[in-house]
Structure 1
Amino acid sequence: GMLVHGGDILRPAVVRGILPGEETKVSDIGRQMKEGSLDSLQPGSFNIILGIELARQLEVKIGDKVAIALAEGSSFTSVAPTLRTFTVSGIFEAGHNEFDSGLGYVHLEDGEQLVHLNAPFGLRLRLQDLQKAPEVAFELKQTMPGKLLVRDWTKLNTTWFAAVTTQKHMMFVILTLIIAVAAFNLVATLVMTVTDKQADIAILRTLGASPRSIMKIFMVQGALVGVLGTALGVVGGVTLALNVDVIVPAIEHLFGVKFLAKDIYFISAVPSDLRWHDVTIIGITSMALAFVATLYPSWSAARVRPADALRYE
């Protein structure tokens, strides 16, 4: 529908009819209320709860009146808008711009009167395991009679989640390239060390050290650098991930910047979901690249000829 305030401010919105007592079982709207209460939605009260951005765009606050305009008719030439005035009784903030700027709640019975229905035409379910939503939706569609439209959250947000998946894959590639650059630096450091220590390597060789033992020395040195760097990176990354909800707002407040604009990224805060499986993969990849980076310098050190290295000493 279209929400109207003051006769000149119009904003499109999805108006959802709910039962306040049941809504808290399928959504977090009860904990997201910034002003007012979900219990203010009583049958016949014609109250409405708006998202915080929608309320700001309409320039309304608790107690103000807004009109909901709905189009009726079966063709574009016979559309007669239906107007009904509602009182703003609450404001919520979901943290997702799509909801905060385009969603309103009314009581189910008031919504039925608004669209002239005798029964609700939608039912939402909340699962303990959200990953099973596609499976449950498929089973419901197969077992329930009638022409029903069954949709799960993955279908409602297909484009958004596809973009997130693509970004996650690209981030893994970028992180791998960053680790590879660090590995190249390790190669350069070890090569310079081998060049600088050629005389010492030659002396060890004349004392009976085998090429394999020389190679082991530099492999251990490079591996220790890789393990230490990986450990510091993992500890720092995990610490940052666990405290990103505190660190990012502090930086935004300190420098007066905003990392995520609601109207561009649809979310207002940097989310963090630490996955130890990903941490393990990144850590193992880092150590593996560090180990591979030690092979050439170590092989080069093992090939040092004592006579050539000590010729000018």
Structure 2
Amino acid sequence: MFRPLSVFVGLRYSRAKHKNSFVSFISIASILGISLGVTVLIIGLSAMNGFENALRDQLLSVIPHGELKTVDGGYKDLQKSLQTVESTPGVTGATAFITFNGLLQKDNQMKALQFRAITPATESKVTRIERFIKEGDWSLLKPGQRSLILGKAVADKLQIKVGDSVTLLMHQIGQGSKIKAPLTYQFTLVGLFEMGGQLDSALAFTHIEDAKQILSLNEANTIGFSVDDVLQAQQITRNAGYKLNDYLYINSWVNSQGYLYRDIQMVKSLMIIILLLVVAVACFNIVSTLVMAVNEKRGDIAILKTMGASKWMLRFIFIVQGAFNGFVGCIVGAVFGVYIAENLTAIISKLEVLIGHKLLSGNIYFINYLPSQVNANEVVIITATAFLMSVFATVYPAWRASNIQPALELGYSH
């Protein structure tokens, strides 16, 4: 097989033992440094991709992308308003509901929750919470029966199970802002959902007709809807709200949960910058390796020059030698990075079992596990960038090697 002389000699130098063991050590350190940098960068970005997907596919699948809530009372013409919202470009489905806050009590246990009184027939147009229902079903939320679906975390805290009765406490304000005794209502638990995050312990579902009776409303006071592009939810929500004649509070998921998306993007950007600097530092070890290799091979370089080797041939020899180290480091790092990233969730789960502690608490974060999703394009870009950085690091030593004077090295005089 034909191989250019510079490639042949460069690869031979890469595999040859160095006279100075310190040169070998620096060479191995540069490979390991590049590998570690690439591995950590792939794992970190995969974790950020996992969080981003969990935000979209999990959190945003159980809350409306946009909400239009009346300032006072319910909608004057709910059906017409629903049709108007659904006809807005970008809206994929709409449903009516009522939200209110209350306190659930069972014996001596109490839990404050946000209640979403839904229309079961149209709720699936907007959310996919049914995917996370472990016991029961939407169909069990029937008007007039005061039924309830809770997160499993809440049910565990209150020590109740499906079929049990629980008390809802609602505050009421008397004349002159005098606080009166809370109103109490009995509800029956008909279902449990488990998403694995904050919402498990913060949200409860009931039928909209029961909420109307409790809150003395004639109609729903909120329209929730989903959109085809979650990143445009704010603008689509405004467009839908401006079409209606009611006085409204206009909110999208960006207002309530947007900080999560911004945090993920910020951490992702910082991680790329910091870890690329780590790779850069590792690549500059290649400079040290090649500078010492050039000093070791001064005699060989002089002989090659006397045999007619051009400056560019000599430069390519050392570029190939340094690029080989970078290539090995990048490939090893990419293989380990992809493997660990693909199994990151399982690895962290086993680590949590081993240490007996949850690294991500569902009470604090919107999920209670560490997600990961490998993006093939990002792996290619990371590997290619690290390789190019390693090649760039060879330029100075290679240039220095090409300027060696054979006469001085071989002891001849002019």
Same fold (TM over 0.5): yes
Instruction: Tell me the distance in 2 between the aligned counterparts of 1:119 and 1:306.
Output: 94
- Report the Cα offset of residue 278 of structure 1: 3.8
Contact (CA 8 Å) 2:291, 2:397: kept in 1 or not? yes
Is 1:167–2:267 an aligned residue pair? yes
Pick the aligned partner of 1:50 from 150, 153, 156.
Answer: 150
The superposition leaves residues 216-267 of structure 1 with CA deviations (integer Å, 9 ceiling, x where unpaired) of: 1111222233334334433443444444444433444466553322234342
Contact (CA 8 Å) 2:171, 2:183: kept in 1 or not? yes
The superposition leaves residues 260-305 of structure 1 with CA deviations (integer Å, 9 ceiling, x where unpaired) of: 2223434212223444554454334312311221112212222223
- Report the Cα offset of residue 18 of structure 1: 1.1
Pick the aligned partner of 1:178 from 278, 288, 291.
Answer: 278
Classify the secondary structure of the residue corresponding to 1:126.
strand
The superposition leaves residues 134-179 of structure 1 with CA deviations (integer Å, 9 ceiling, x where unpaired) of: 2311211332222122222112113333322221121112221221
Identity across aligned pairs (percent)?
Answer: 36
Corresponding letter in the other structure for 2:274: I
Structure 2 counterparts to residues 16-35 of structure 1, below 5 A:
16-35=116-135
Label 1:202 to 1:259 Cα distance change in 2 as closer, same or farther (>3 A).
farther
The superposition leaves residues 90-133 of structure 1 with CA deviations (integer Å, 9 ceiling, x where unpaired) of: 11111222x01111111111122222211111121122332331
Pick the aligned partner of 2:115 from 5, 15, 31.
Answer: 15
Pick the aligned partner of 1:148 from 239, 242, 248.
Answer: 248
Counterpart in the other structure of 2:92: none
Is 1:131–2:235 an aligned residue pair? no
- Report the Cα offset of residue 214 of structure 1: 0.7
Corresponding letter in the other structure for 1:92: F
Contact (CA 8 Å) 1:14, 1:104: kept in 2 or not? yes
Is 1:87–2:215 an aligned residue pair? no
Label 1:158 to 1:35 Cα distance change in 2 as closer, same or farther (>3 A).
same
Counterpart in the other structure of 2:295: 195
Structure 2 counterparts to residues 87-126 of structure 1, below 5 A:
87-97=188-198, 99-126=199-226
Q: Structure 2 unaligned runs (5+)?
A: 1-101
Contact (CA 8 Å) 1:140, 1:150: kept in 2 or not? no
Classify the secondary structure of the residue corresponding to 1:78.
coil
Is 1:77–2:178 an aligned residue pair? yes
Instruction: Tell me the distance in 2 between the aligned counterparts of 1:131 and 1:274.
Output: 22
Is 1:267–2:367 an aligned residue pair? yes
Is 1:205–2:319 an aligned residue pair? no
Label 1:299 to 1:257 Cα distance change in 2 as closer, same or farther (>3 A).
farther
TM-score, normalised by the number of residues in structure 1: 0.88
Root-mean-square deviation (Å): 2.5
Classify the secondary structure of the residue corresponding to 2:171.
strand
Higher relative contact order (CA 8 A, sep 6+): 2
Instruction: Tell me the distance in 1 between the aligned counterparts of 2:235 and 2:324.
Output: 47
Contact (CA 8 Å) 2:197, 2:361: kept in 1 or not? no
Label 1:145 to 1:27 Cα distance change in 2 as closer, same or farther (>3 A).
same
**Stretch deviating more after TM superposition (131-140 or 116-125):** 131-140
Is 1:214–2:314 an aligned residue pair? yes
The superposition leaves residues 16-67 of structure 1 with CA deviations (integer Å, 9 ceiling, x where unpaired) of: 1012232223222111012232322111221111112222222222222221
Equivalent pairs, count: 310
Corresponding letter in the other structure for 1:85: Q
Instruction: Tell me the distance in 2 between the aligned counterparts of 1:271 and 1:282.
Output: 20
Instruction: Tell me the distance in 2 between the aligned counterparts of 1:190 and 1:21.
Output: 71
Instruction: Tell me the distance in 2 between the aligned counterparts of 1:309 and 1:20.
Output: 88
Counterpart in the other structure of 2:43: none
